[in-house]
Amino acid sequence: MRKFLSVLVICIMGIIFNKKTFSVEKVDIVITNGTVLTMNSEKEVIENGVVIVKNNKILEVGKKGIEKKYSAKKIIDANEGIIMPGMINTHTHVSMSVFRSLADDVPDRLNRYLFPLEKQMVSPEMVYLGAIHGSIEMAKSGVTTITDMYYFEDKVAEAVKKIGIRGVLGESVIKFPVADAKEPFGGIEYAKKFIEKYKNDELITPAFAPHAPHTNDTKHLQIINKLSKEYNVPVLMHVAETEKESEIYKNKYNMSPVEYLDSIGVLDERFVAAHLIFVNDKDIEILKKRDVGIAHNMVANIKSAKGISPALKMHDKGLRVGLGTDGPMSGNTLDIIGQMGYVAKLHKLDTGDRAALPPIKAVEMATIGGARALHMEDKIGSLEKGKLADIVIVETQSPNMVPIYDAYSALVYSANASNVETVIVNGKIIVEDKKLKTYDEKLSRKNMNEFKDKVIKIAETL
């Protein structure tokens, strides 16, 4: 009997001990065997790192071994690749995919081609299918959050959700009639409905997008600012993009566009300004004081010979600088990897300093910088416990990625969009082995080519 009791006690202890030692937490995804660029505040790099995803969030980031505590539904071997935060595109017009490679480099193409084409072509269907196509390109190239300004923005929201990426989507407001608003400034009412519909969406942040200072007016910009406070949503706008715009405010108020916007009280922590090419030190101080987010669109800005925004200076002064592609009719590609290379090199040229804007800073702008520009740095932009699981794996097997002495250098100077292998957004794998899982690419190609035939017919009359 005593013997029996002893055995029983040992058995029970064994069960308890066993359970304690070997109890594992169930999680959704474990990513192993890669170099983790956390992009956290210490810019920690973890060689042979592991990332744990549970539901839509990052549960843990650490060194090889931590995965033993978990039992995962899905294990991804990064195969010595680079594991990084999803990239953030802080400015685009994704539906314009339909017009990509049309009338490039034509002087005054905005008035000669773009506005007339949009007048005849923009429809809910075109906006949706164009956004589908552009979102596919972005998803496959590791962009997990897009920031968009266009018409029928609810259709962009549908497309972005269909592909499975995150969107900060601004409904355009402009002083003349447009495709989705017959009345001047009709975008405000459209935006209100759009915001109401999407204000609690997991992936979509609806926003107002007054096109630019000079295509709006003081009264309506102030109305939008007031509404953005009420709804607590972002305001996206092109600012200080052209010399002509600067001249307008110089002549009218003896102010820069930034000074004008500040003077009417619309710059605040909800405001995201795209371009900011023509800004001076005083403007930069204002932007900092008002905590404005900045979308730096290097490729589009130099392709149109507009100039180089002092974005590096703004970044170094602590402003919130992210990278943007602009629309596919301006910058032609929608990936952020390509932007990083241009940004790193162009600021070197601009400053005459080969050490300016090192790769780590380009990756910062592409990830946590973009999150900061959108005031979403508490949720996305880095691989840290508790953040949303927006994760990209870049393969390092292709010849251009070999060898790697520095993962940041490899990403910025060697990689291209096609090196992206796996993309996870909000805990869901949307790209695996370079293949999109959420839409039929062939169908999207067919859709674009059908629009193309219509566009050519219209363009011939312009």
Told to check if 104 binds a second copy by CB under 8 A, we report: yes
CB of 368 or CB of 410, closer to a second copy? 410
CB of 235 or CB of 455, closer to a second copy? 455
CB of 318 or CB of 403, closer to a second copy? 403
Contact pick of 186, 280, 351, 384 for a second copy (by CB under 8 A): 351
Told to check if 458 binds a second copy by CB under 8 A, we report: no
Told to check if 440 binds a second copy by CB under 8 A, we report: no
Q: Please report, as a single letter, which amino acid is at residue 107.
A: P
Sketch the per residue contact string, 265 through 304, with a second copy: x for CB under 8 A, - otherwise. Answer: ----------------------------------x--xxx
Told to check if 435 binds a second copy by CB under 8 A, we report: no
Q: Which of residues 107-166 bind a second copy (CB under 8 A)?
A: 107, 133, 136-137, 140-141
Residues 6+ apart with CB under 8 A from 84: 36, 37, 39, 142, 363, 367, 383, 391, 392, 393, 394, 411
Using CB under 8 A, count the residues that bind a second copy.
Answer: 70
Question: What minimum distance in Å lies between the beta carbon of 225 and a second copy?
Answer: 33
Q: Is the peptide bond before 107 cis (omega within 30 degrees of 0)?
A: no
Told to check if 5 binds a second copy by CB under 8 A, we report: no
Distance CA 116, CA 109 (A): 10
**Strand order through the sheet with 166-173:** 87-92, 143-150, 166-173, 204-210, 235-239, 271-275, 293-296, 320-323
CB of 5 or CB of 305, closer to a second copy? 305
What are the C-alpha distances in Å from 439 to residues 100, 312, 435?
Answer: 20, 37, 10
Contact pick of 192, 250, 345, 379 for a second copy (by CB under 8 A): 345
**Pick from 64, 78, 61, 2: nearest CA to 27:** 61
Q: How many residues does the chain have?
A: 462
Question: What minimum distance in Å lies between the beta carbon of 319 and a second copy?
Answer: 23
Distance CA 324, CA 373 (A): 11
- Quick check: 366 and 315 in contact, CB under 8 A? no
Contact pick of 62, 186, 358, 427 for a second copy (by CB under 8 A): 358
Question: What minimum distance in Å lies between the beta carbon of 37 and a second copy?
Answer: 14
Question: What minimum distance in Å lies between the beta carbon of 384 and a second copy?
Answer: 26
CB of 295 or CB of 337, closer to a second copy? 337
Question: What minimum distance in Å lies between the beta carbon of 400 and a second copy?
Answer: 5
**Pick from 308, 284, 289: nearest CA to 298:** 308
Told to check if 417 binds a second copy by CB under 8 A, we report: yes
- Quick check: 127 and 155 in contact, CB under 8 A? yes
- Quick check: 178 and 215 in contact, CB under 8 A? no
For the chain, what is the total number of helices (H) and then of strands (E)?
17, 16
Q: Which residue has the tokens 């953005």?
A: 228
Told to check if 402 binds a second copy by CB under 8 A, we report: yes
Name the residues that contact a second copy, by CB under 8 A: 97-107, 133, 136-137, 140-141, 299, 302-305, 307-308, 331-335, 338, 342, 344-346, 348-349, 351-356, 358-359, 397-400, 402-406, 409-410, 413-414, 416-419, 441, 444-445, 448-449, 451-452, 455-456, 459
